[in-house]
Structures are given as C-alpha cells and as structure tokens.
C-alpha cells in the first residue's frame, strides 16, 4: 500500500499517512514555463495498491490535470490498483442540465478519471448521490457527518438545538443530522435568481429560542448561509452556527461570514484551508484525515467501508 499526493492538499495526505504510519511516496510534480504539468514517480510502485490523494479544489482545472496525469503515470508504472482519493470532487455541482445547451460536467470528469486509468474512487459528501453512477468503476462516497456530529455534540450538549436545512434539497441531510442529535429540524425556503445569489423567503419549522445549526455539503460564496442566519435570528433564534463538509469559501465569503450573524462556521479539511480561513475568528476546521485513513485501510484489506457509518 502506497500513498501519493498532488499539490492540492498535501497536509491532508500527510495526516492520513501519519495516521496509517506509512510514509508518503516520493514524486516530483513540476510545471513547464507554459504551466503544462509534468509528474515523475520517484519510487517503485509496480504491483502496489496506490492511493492518490488529490481534491480538485481551486484552481480546479490545474488540480484536475495533476490528478489525471498522475493516474496515467501510475498506470504506466504498473501499479496494481490505483484509487483516486478525491475528498472534494470538483464539478460536482454540474450534475444535470439546468437549461438548454449546458453540459453535465460531473459526468465528463468521471469519464476522464476512468479513462486515465483509475480503478476506484474514494470521495466525501458528493453534491448529489447519483454522481456515483457517473463512474464505471467502484466509487465510495464517505460522509463527513460522524466527524461533524461529534463536534456538534460537544458544543451543544444540554442546549436546545434545531438542525436547519438551508434549502429544500438538503432536507434528507438535515434529517440525518437531526436524528443523531435527537433534535427537531427546520427548513429555509429560498428562491435563487441566479448562480451565487439567493434570497431567503420564509422558514418552515419552529426556531424561536433555540440554537440553530445550519448543515450543508458545500459553502462557496457564503451568501446562502449568511442570508439564512439573518432570517433565523429575525425569527427569534438564540444563535446560529453552520456545519459544512466542504469549505470552498471563494471571493467575499470570509468577509461575509465575519460581518454576518453566524457565531461560527465549521468546515472540514477536505479542501486545503486558505490563509483567510486560518486567520478568521468565525471559521474553524475539523479534520477528516482519520475517516479517510480508515476507509483507505479497509479498501486495501478488502473489508467493509460502509460499516464505518453503522
């Protein structure tokens, strides 16, 4: 078993390797002057079970090409099995045709990863579960929920808590969190006029006098979370925080969170935290390295991955 990493999130790969007590495999990842990617594996991987850790976060296209080129290098080096460990699967939000003459980019990326030579994919909280079906190779979709719920229970033990879905599409996720927290749920009904802009309409459920916890899979520009927090506070919530699997946090997201009514936004390290995240007083990072490490170890030893969530 060997673990390899690209430039997307080497700290996460190092944490996974440390948990498993396995050194990271040596590789050289360079750019030519025109930014063309060149990768050289610096140790023997023939017949090895190789796990390549590379979330396809910002800059998504660069990290995607690194992933594909590295998979090709491993395949040509005769690795026995190549598992693409993609904690954050970029392009997952383009999982359907929202209008005429638009692509289904998530399917295209799945085809690219398969064609490059990956034998298996391991990811966390896909934006839509059906993306697993876009791959023609085994795909394990882990959930950050156990990690986030553990933190949630420590923070809200003995306090009245309501789990809130920021949109109708996240109700199943909110219900799963609420079941584990033994809490009621509420739903934000919003209308999105265009990508990245949302308008809160009204709240379904009782939130007055409770600590509201928003749960979502991705926070990008943070507009939805900040609008939802304001609506919940206006409806009488005692406090509002958010637990999110993937902290994309692009553009003005950190400033929006800082100026919002949110007490705290808790994200995982599926995406490498930026300098803004590390210095923000309202954003906190919890690690998914042990979760990924356990799943990788079970894949390597051909044992059950689903039992991680029993």
Among all residues, which ones are annotated catalytic? 190
Q: Is 130 annotated as a binding residue?
A: no
Q: Is 34 annotated as a binding residue?
A: yes
Q: Is 192 annotated as a binding residue?
A: yes
Q: Is 36 annotated as a binding residue?
A: yes
For residue 21, how far is the Cα from the chain centroid? 24
Sign of CA dihedral 141, 142, 145, 151: negative
Residue 295 to residue 286: CA distance in whole angstroms: 18
3-state secondary structure of 150: helix
**Residue 5's beta-bridge partner residues?**
53
Residue 45 to residue 47: CA distance in whole angstroms: 6
Question: Phi and psi of 292, rounded to 5°?
Answer: -65, -40
Q: Is 35 annotated as a binding residue?
A: yes
Q: Is 94 annotated as a binding residue?
A: yes
Q: Is 93 annotated as a binding residue?
A: yes
Structure tokens belonging to residue 91: 């392009």
Q: Is 280 annotated as a binding residue?
A: no
Q: Is 175 annotated as a binding residue?
A: no
Strand order through the sheet with 197-204: 197-204, 185-194, 161-165, 211-219, 239-247, 264-268, 283-286
Annotated binding site for D-ribose 5-phosphate: 192, 216, 220-224
Annotated binding site for Mg(2+): 127, 167
Annotated binding site: 34-36, 93-94, 127, 167, 192, 216, 220-224
Annotated binding site for ATP: 34-36, 93-94
């Amino acid at each position: 078993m060997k673990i390899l990493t690209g430039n997307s999130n080497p700290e996460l790969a190092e944490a996974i390797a440390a948990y498993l007590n396995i050194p990271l495999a040596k590789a050289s990842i360079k750019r030519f002057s025109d930014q063309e990617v060149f990768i050289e594996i610096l140790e023997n991987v023939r017949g090895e079970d190789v796990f390549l850790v590379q979330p396809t976060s910002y800059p998504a296209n660069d990290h995607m090409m690194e992933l594909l080129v590295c998979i090709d290098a491993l395949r040509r080096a005769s690795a026995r099995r190549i598992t693409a460990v993609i904690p954050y699967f970029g392009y997952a939000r383009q999982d359907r045709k929202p209008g005429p003459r638009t692509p289904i980019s998530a399917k295209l990326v799945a085809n690219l990863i398969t064609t490059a030579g990956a034998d298996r994919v391991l990811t966390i909280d896909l934006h839509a579960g059906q993306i697993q079906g876009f791959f023609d190779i085994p795909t394990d979709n882990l959930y950050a929920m156990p990690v986030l719920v553990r933190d949630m229970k420590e923070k809200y033990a003995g306090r009245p808590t309501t789990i809130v879905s920021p949109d109708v599409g996240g109700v199943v996720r909110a219900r799963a969190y609420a079941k584990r927290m033994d809490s009621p749920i509420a739903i934000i009904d919003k209308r999105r006029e265009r990508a990245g802009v949302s308008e809160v309409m009204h709240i379904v459920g009782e939130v007055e006098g409770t600590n509201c916890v928003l749960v979502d899979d991705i926070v990008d520009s943070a507009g939805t979370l900040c609008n939802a927090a304001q609506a919940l506070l206006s409806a009488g919530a005692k406090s509002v925080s958010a637990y999110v699997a993937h902290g994309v946090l692009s553009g003005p997201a950190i400033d929006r969170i800082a100026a919002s009514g949110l007490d705290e936004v808790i994200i995982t390290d599926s995406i490498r935290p930026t300098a803004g995240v590390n210095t923000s007083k309202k954003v906190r990072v919890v690690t998914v390295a042990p979760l990924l490490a356990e799943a990788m170890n079970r894949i390597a030893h051909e044992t059950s991955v689903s039992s991680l969530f029993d």
